[in-house]
A = this chain, B = another copy of it.
Amino acid sequence: MTAATPDRFRGVLVPASTPFKADLTPDSARFNRFCAWLLDEGADGLAIFGTTSEANSVGMKDRMRMTEGLVESGVPAAKLLPGTGTCALADSVELTRHAVELGCGGVLVLPPFYYKNASEDGLYASFAEIIERVGDSRLQLYLYHFPQMAGVGIPMGVIDRLLKAYPQTVAGLKDSSGDWSNTEAVIKNFPSLHTFPSSESRAVDALKIGGAGCISASANINVRAIRALIDVWDKPEADALNAKVSAIRTIMEGYPIIAAVKAVLAAFSGDQEWNRVSPPLTSLPAEKQAALVAALKAEDFSLSMPVSEAA
Residue positions of A touching B, CB distance < 8 A: 24-25, 51, 54, 56-62, 86-91, 93-94, 111-116, 118-119, 121-123, 125-126, 129, 148-152, 258, 278-282
Contact = CB atoms under 8 A, between A and B. Distances in A.
B129 A279 contact: yes
Given A125-B280, A129-B279, A280-B123, A114 B62 contact: no
A10 B223 CA distance: 56
Contact of A87 (B25, B57, B116, B122): B57
Which of A114, A258, A280 has the most B CB atoms < 10 Å from its CB?
Answer: A280
A281 B90 contact: no
Given A57-B89, A88-B57, A115 B281 contact: yes
B279 A89 contact: yes
A282 to B, nearest CB: 5
Given A112-B57, A114-B150, A149-B116, A122 B281 contact: yes
Contacts of A116: 148-149, 151
B60 A91 contact: yes
A interface secondary structure, majority: loop
Given A62-B90, A118-B281, 16 more contacts: A54-B115, A56-B87, A56-B114, A56-B115, A57-B112, A57-B114, A59-B89, A59-B91, A59-B94, A60-B90, A86-B87, A115-B280, A122-B280, A125-B282, A126-B279, A152-B280
B56 A90 contact: no
Contacts of A86: 87
List 4 tightest A-B contacts by C-beta distance, closest first. Answer: A59-B90, A118-B280, A56-B114, A122-B280
A126 B59 contact: no
A282 B121 CA distance: 7
Contacts of A149: 114-116
B113 A114 contact: yes
Contacts of A91: 59-60
A249 B62 CA distance: 42
A129 B278 CA distance: 10
A24 B279 contact: no
B278 A89 contact: yes
Which of A54, A60, A62, A150 has the most B CB atoms < 10 Å from its CB?
Answer: A60
A24 B89 contact: yes
A85 to B, nearest CB: 11
A60 B63 CA distance: 14
Given A122-B282, A279-B126, A88 B114 contact: no
6 contacts: A57-B115, A60-B88, A116-B149, A118-B280, A122-B282, A151-B151
A151 B117 CA distance: 12
Contacts of A87: 56-57, 86-87
